[in-house]
Amino acid sequence: MRVELLLLVAMCLAGGVGGMSTCKTVNLEMVRLKRIEAIRSQILSKLRLPKAPEPEESGDEEDIPTDLLSLYNSTKDMLTEQETDVQTPISTEQEEEEYFAKVLHKFNATKTNTTESSKVMYFNISEIRRSVGDHRLLTSAELRMLIRSTTIPTEQRVELYYGGGAGARYHASRFVTNELKDKWLSFDVTEPLRGWLQHSGEPR
Ligand SMILES: *[C@@H]1O[C@H](CO)[C@@H](O)[C@H](O)[C@H]1NC(C)=O
Ligand SMILES: *[C@@H]1O[C@H](CO)[C@@H](O)[C@H](O)[C@H]1NC(C)=O
Ligand SMILES: *[C@@H]1O[C@H](CO)[C@@H](O)[C@H](O)[C@H]1NC(C)=O
Ligand SMILES: *[C@@H]1O[C@H](CO)[C@@H](O)[C@H](O)[C@H]1NC(C)=O
């Protein structure tokens, strides 16, 4: 299984609050910061870097593969978004362990077909399956799209469908406005992706 379990107990102790029994009473803000730090460390260890890459640093920049840097960047973006979201308090240590065990993967659309009113994105499911493994190992999946240019009169509804052609199924929708320019539009696509991983089908 492609998971890395971080030592949660060690983290609680490192919080400087004493014994293990105090873990559950640790200040939530601190737990949240530690989560973020733990995920950062995971990414950094994958990059085999002692610290976050700094684009200003000249010299060893070429050593970091672009796709890893891009993964690092999107993780950072997602964490920043999560920081501004209202955090739901975590209830059990089990949940925290599951949280730390997650590893992030990023997949680009392999092909897109844009028409006046639609944009079809294709993903290589074999590639995703190869990285993620069994559908049961998938905890969540998000479709993220960067809103680049906006010429929306007032607001516009973006509808997300999955599957191909006549079999396409409605999944979710969002309202977008010009204010969302350069922001990420994201959809939870865990269920469709889990289904695709489960039923070996052609890439879509
Ligand atoms: C995904 O696309 C971006 C931008 O086109 C590119 O920089 C990156 O290397 C791609 N990543 C993968 C894993 O193909
Ligand atoms: C990662 O982000 C830095 C700045 O935050 C940017 O200069 C760099 O081009 C990004 N790299 C990728 C692969 O997205
Ligand atoms: C893009 O979609 C249009 C309309 O469905 C179709 O006619 C066209 O062949 C597609 N192009 C590609 C490259 O798939
Ligand atoms: C999808 O990914 C698999 C495994 O990485 C690769 O062998 C195959 O050529 C890819 N297919 C397409 C259409 O890109």
Q: What is the pLDDT of residues 1-16, one digit of tens each?
A: 333 333 333 333 333 3
Q: How confident is the model at residue 64 (pLDDT cuts 50, 70, 90)?
A: low
**Ligand 3: centre distance to CA 107 (Å):** 22
Q: pLDDT tens digit string along 105-153?
A: 888 889 888 888 888 888 888 888 888 888 888 888 899 988 887 778 8
pTM of the predicted model, to two decimals? Answer: 0.58
Distance CA 159, CA 175 (A): 9
The neighbouring-strand residues paired with 169 are: 162
The neighbouring-strand residues paired with 187 are: 143
% of the chain with per-residue pLDDT over 90: 4
Check residue 187 and give its pLDDT.
92
Residues with CB under 6 A from ligand 1: 66-67, 70, 108
Looking at this protein, which amino acid is placed at residue 189? V
H or E segment and range at residue 120: strand 119-122
Residue/partner pairs of 173-176 with CB below 8 Å, 24 or more apart: 176/147, 176/150, 176/152
84 lines ligand 3 (CB under 6 A): no
For atom 1 of ligand 1, which residue has the closest CA? Answer: 108
Which ligand is closest to the CA of 144, given by its number? Answer: 1
